């Protein structure tokens, strides 16, 4: 059965053809080579429907290390971390060790009926999928192979079924695959 939450948790991410969201050094230079002009309108439409953000500590640290201003100043953010994270000026971030069900509930409640963006990384997204708290996947597959790196959904448990709900093609050879979780 396909279910749609009023505030679905959506893993919106780009990956290489061979399933990696970052290279071995946790970098995304390979992704930046494609530019964002072809994706901007699509991203803007997605982002307009986002009410809160969830990410793992590694993704948060990557954003801190970028030296850029916090990119989501108007959105509440939950950062899953066992050891804490550095301060990020402008971030409305709640660092938590809570279980994923509690974080999902809080983020959904704070999203104002809009989507919750599961920003990354793959391990965090996999934890939410395993707990039945990841509702949609929107994965842009980029026309490049990395060979190694951080997996898009490195599941630690059993299989998860997804139903294809749409595709979008982009100039340059990328394609977005949209899926909704199938729950019995």
In a domain, 177, yes or no: yes
Domain that holds residue 126: 9-97+106-181
78 close to 94: Cβ distance less than 8 angstroms: yes
Cα 105 to Cα 71: distance, rounded to the nearest angstrom: 23
Whichever domain contains 54, its CATH number is 3.40.430.10
pLDDT tens string, the chain, 184 residues long: the values are 455 567 999 999 999 999 999 999 988 989 888 887 878 899 999 999 999 999 999 999 999 999 999 999 999 999 999 888 999 999 999 999 889 999 999 999 999 999 999 998 899 999 999 999 999 999 999 999 999 999 999 976 778 899 999 999 998 899 999 999 998 7
Using alpha carbons, select from 84, 8, 90 the residue that is nearest to residue 52: 8
Cα 63 to Cα 67: distance, rounded to the nearest angstrom: 7
Average pLDDT, the chain: 92
Instruction: Kindly give, in sequence order, each residue whose CB lies less than 8 Å from that of residue 6, ignoring residues fewer than 6 positions away.
Output: 108, 113
In a domain, 116, yes or no: yes
Cα 181 to Cα 179: distance, rounded to the nearest angstrom: 7
Instruction: Kindly give, in sequence order, each residue whose CB lies less than 8 Å from that of residue 150, ignoring residues fewer than 6 positions away.
Output: 20, 21, 22, 23, 26, 121, 122
Structural domain count, the chain: 1
Task: Give residue 120's pLDDT.
Answer: 83
Interval 10-48: pLDDT, tens: 999 999 999 999 999 988 989 888 887 878 899 999 999
Task: Give residue 5's pLDDT.
Answer: 62
Residue 111 host element (H or E)? none
In a domain, 64, yes or no: yes
In a domain, 4, yes or no: no
Question: Which residues on adjacent β-strands are paired with residue 15?
Answer: 141
103 close to 84: Cβ distance less than 8 angstroms: no
Rounded to two decimals, what is the model's pTM? Answer: 0.93
């Amino acid at each position: 059965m396909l279910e749609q939450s009023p505030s679905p948790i959506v893993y919106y991410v780009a990956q290489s053809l061979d399933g990696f969201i970052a290279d071995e050094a946790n970098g995304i230079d390979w992704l930046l080579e494609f530019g964002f002009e072809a994706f901007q309108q699509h991203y803007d439409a997605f982002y307009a429907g986002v009410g809160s953000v969830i990410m793992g500590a590694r993704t948060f640290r990557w954003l801190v290390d970028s030296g850029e201003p916090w990119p989501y100043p108007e959105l509440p953010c939950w950062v899953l971390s066992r050891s804490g994270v550095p301060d990020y000026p402008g971030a409305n971030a709640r660092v938590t060790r809570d279980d994923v069900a509690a974080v999902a509930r809080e983020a959904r409640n704070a999203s104002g009926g809009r989507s919750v963006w599961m920003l990354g990384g793959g391990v965090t997204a996999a934890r939410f999928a395993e707990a039945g708290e990841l509702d949609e996947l929107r994965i842009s597959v980029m026309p490049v192979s990395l060979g190694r790196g951080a997996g898009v959904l490195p599941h630690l448990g059993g299989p998860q079924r997804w139903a294809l709900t749409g595709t979008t093609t982009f100039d340059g050879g990328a394609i977005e695959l949209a899926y909704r979780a199938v729950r019995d």
